Amino acid sequence: MPQLSPTILYADDALIVADKPAGLLSVPAGGEGRQDCLAGRVQALYSDALIVHRLDMATSGLVLLARGPEMLRRLSLAFEQRIIGKHYIALVHGHLASDAGEIALPLGDDPDNRPRQIVDPLRGRRALTRYRVISRSGAGNNAVSRVELRPVTGRTHQLRVHLMSIGHAIIGDPLYAPPESAARYPRMHLHAAGLALIHPQTRVPACFESAVPF
């Protein structure tokens, strides 16, 4: 599937920044024909590449990979300490009432519907997303908002569940949007557009951007 080839935006002796297309797994998954993934494709070019964080298969955009275990350790620690900043762009159903805000709802597994996640006030893990509305368009069933999202925590499906839970599911989301949304749109409209970090070797700040494909 050459159309799923990632683009290498940057590479040096410490790290690699790849731009993942929607539809490509970040890492191998169980099951027939689910071994093709971003990590494997980058490792074909850089044998010591190790993935630092993941994007959902349906999400496109920037993914950080480390060159070797020591860089993986440093970059993973930077993620844990929230030194690495990420922002996403999404198109969502409806018009958000506020121009900016926070969604703080704890998330956990939906035991009856894996891999879905649910808001779970009792057993869920803390999850926080900050959002800013970039634009609003359309009306009624065609009302759409373009939003910038900054996840403070990194829970599974966090952005997707948080937006759905406030009534603004991401357009084309196969798990959390209404079925007609996924049927109408060929992809989920969520893109990891920006990555900011302190380089683990040079200690110089670095910023990477990826053009939003929708």
Q: Check whether the bond before 174 is cis (ω within 30° of 0).
A: no
13 is catalytic: no
Phi then psi for residue 73, to 5 deg, are -60, -45
Question: How many residues does the structure list for the chain?
Answer: 214
Single out the residue of 177, 157, 155 nearest to residue 168, CA to CA: 177
Q: Are 155 and 107 in contact (CB under 8 A)?
A: yes
Q: Please give the DSSP secondary-structure letter assigned to residue 53.
A: S
Single out the residue of 53, 109, 60, 113 nearest to residue 88, CA to CA: 60
Parallel, antiparallel or unpaired: strands 100-104 and 205-209: unpaired
**Looking up tokens 């302190």, which residue turns up?**
198
Q: What DSSP string describes 10-75?
A: EE-SSEEEEEEPTT-BSS--SSTT---BHHHHHHTT-TTEEE-S---TT-EEEEEEEESHHHHHHH
**Marked catalytic residue, from 19, 48, 56, 110:** 56
**Helix-then-strand count for the chain, H and E:** 4, 12
Q: State which H helix or E strand residue 102 sits in.
A: strand 100-104
Residues tagged active-site: 56
